[in-house]
């Protein structure tokens, strides 16, 4: 056994394929959208046993090398999309810990067909699992923070629309002449020139509801 389950799996599959005289293809089959292949996930021991027993003609084997720069760039991009433009300290520390593994196999995927069923086995290096765990925790935390900010911003935007709608509904021109939504929207744009089209539309819609409520004579229940 080595210090990497990914390396162990690759070595075991290559050994079994050699004994079975199977052709090893450095790839892994992509599932077809129209004709999905039945898939069975097996562990390393069962994969080796099946290859020895059924002697498939082809064994697919993909060994993915670790590229720390590429993976950190992808994580940084994901964090930036969530509004976090600086890598958190725990993730930066985790990245430094795995930098020395650059070029090593981080993940191994193996597969072979038995009676029309794709049997697949996979393994990843323990050090990469630890790194992935920190990445997942960082992204989850950043997502939660982004959602919290979004709720606060949405609440503030809603309060602003309500306030502007009250101003619009109370303007003397709001119900002047033959009114229409478009005319009231034009009035809103004139009163609030700093607002975008979407905000003007929401302000006008809410103002019409406020005006209707006032005109209906509605009084709050005690």
Domain ranges of the chain: 5-147, 152-215
Over residues 72-117, the pLDDT tens digits come to: 999 999 999 988 889 999 999 999 999 999 999 999 999 999 988 9
CA angle 186, 195, 185 (to 5 degrees): 20
Confidence tier at 156 by pLDDT (50, 70, 90): confident
Distance CA 66, CA 167 (A): 59
Closest CA to 96 of 123, 72, 77, 121: 72
Tell me the pairing of strands 105-114 and 117-124: antiparallel
> How many whole angstroms separate alpha carbon 145 and alpha carbon 112?
43
At residue 15, the pLDDT reads 95
Q: Residues 148-158: what's their mean pLDDT?
A: 86
Would the pTM count as exceeding 0.85? no
Instruction: Give the whole-angstrom CA distance, residue 211 versus residue 30.
Output: 59
H-helix or E-strand spanning residue 45: helix 44-54
Q: What are the tokens at 22?
A: 């199977």
pLDDT band at 4 (very low <50, low <70, confident <90, very high): confident
Residue 2: predicted pLDDT = 55
């Amino acid at each position: 056994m080595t210090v990497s389950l990914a390396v162990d799996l690759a070595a075991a599959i290559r050994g079994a394929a050699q004994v079975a005289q199977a052709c090893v293809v450095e790839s892994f089959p992509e599932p077809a959208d129209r004709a999905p292949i039945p898939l069975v996930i097996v562990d390393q021991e069962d994969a080796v046993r099946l290859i020895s027993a059924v002697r498939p003609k082809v064994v697919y084997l993909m060994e993915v090398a670790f590229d720390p720069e590429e993976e950190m760039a992808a994580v940084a991009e994901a964090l930036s999309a969530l509004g976090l433009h600086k890598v958190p300290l725990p993730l930066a520390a985790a990245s430094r810990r795995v930098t020395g593994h650059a070029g090593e196999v981080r993940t191994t995927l193996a597969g072979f067909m038995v009676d029309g069923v794709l049997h697949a086995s996979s393994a990843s290096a323990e050090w990469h699992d630890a790194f992935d765990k920190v990445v997942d925790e960082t992204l989850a935390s950043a997502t939660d923070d982004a959602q919290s900010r979004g709720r606060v911003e949405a609440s503030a935007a809603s309060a602003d629309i309500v306030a502007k709608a009250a101003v619009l509904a109370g303007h003397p021109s709001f119900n002047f002449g033959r009114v229409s939504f478009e005319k009231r929207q034009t009035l809103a744009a004139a009163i609030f020139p700093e607002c975008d089209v979407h905000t003007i539309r929401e302000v006008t819609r809410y103002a019409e509801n406020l005006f209707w409520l006032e005109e209906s004579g509605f009084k709050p229940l005690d």
